[in-house]
Amino acid sequence: MPKGKFITLEGGEGVGKTTNLAFIKDYLEQHKITVVVTREPGGTPLAEKLRQLLLDKNSEAISDKAELLLIFAARAQHIKHVIEPALARGDWVLCDRFTDATYAYQGGGRNMRVSTITWLENLVQGNLKPDLTLLFDAPVELGLERARTRSAFDRFESEKISFFEQVRRAYLLQAELYPERIKVIKANLPLLEVQSTLIHAIGTFLR
């Protein structure tokens, strides 16, 4: 049985997941918790290679099925070599994106069947699910604008606005389906306000 806790950060492009990851890590460490910070796709050498393939704008056209399978292949490595060992040690895992992103991007964005994603989720994860998910939500255009100022667009970020609207809707649907686990954080506010909401959500979880 895992002894640590598994927290995931989710949301569309540029909503502030990476920015707030360090903030949450510091907050947990102040509470004497050992934190492993990681991300998806990625987190192990092989999974990081798969991430490069997935994000590369200049790769051959990747079919929707190949994309879905690459994401779950990376996840299988990540779970086996990073997430499960950390949780077994009693560390907490803070992960930038996980399977809710697959429901949002491949399910919502690419229209892949939810039942297919669920089948792969069960195969790859067994009983492993996040204990807490912080879903950063902001209007699509605002997130893309923020992402644009940070770096050049990758293969996903180069999609049409309608794709990201579908992603956002699918994320919010996940939050409706799992209100106990998924806490929606309004991410269109100034950073300090976002962080005070985060402290409230994590403080409640800690208690």
Binding site for ligand T5A (CB under 6 A): 11, 13-19, 39-41, 71, 96-97, 101-102, 105-106, 146-147, 149-150, 156-157, 190-191, 194
Token duo for residue 137: 């939500």
Residue placing its CB nearer to ligand T5A in the complex, 160 or 207? 160
Least separation in angstroms between CB 78 and ligand T5A: 10
Min dist. Cβ of residue 17 to ligand T5A (A): 4
Please report how close the Cβ of residue 56 comes to ligand T5A at its closest, in angstroms. Answer: 12
Nearer to ligand T5A, 32 or 151 (CB): 151
**Toward ligand T5A, which CB reaches closer, 19 or 125?**
19
- CB 55 → ligand T5A: shortest distance, Å? 6
CB closer to ligand T5A, 92 vs 171: 171
**Least spacing, CB of residue 40 vs ligand T5A, in Å:** 4
Identity at 159, one-letter amino acid code? E
Considering beta carbons, is residue 33 or 142 the nearer one to ligand T5A?
Answer: 142
Cα separation, 35 vs 199, whole angstroms? 16
Under DSSP, the state recorded for 139 is -
Distances (CA, A) of 188 to 10, 105, 124, 199, 203: 14, 20, 34, 17, 21
Helix ranges (DSSP H) in the chain: 17-30, 45-55, 64-78, 84-89, 99-101, 114-125, 140-150, 161-177, 191-206
Among 194, 201, 155, 143, which residue's Cα sits nearest to residue 175? 201
| Nearest to ligand T5A of 28, 134 (CB atom) | 134
Whether 134 contacts 46, CB under 8 Å: no
CB of 85 to ligand T5A, least distance (A): 20
Strand order in the sheet with 182-186: 35-39, 92-96, 6-11, 132-137, 182-186
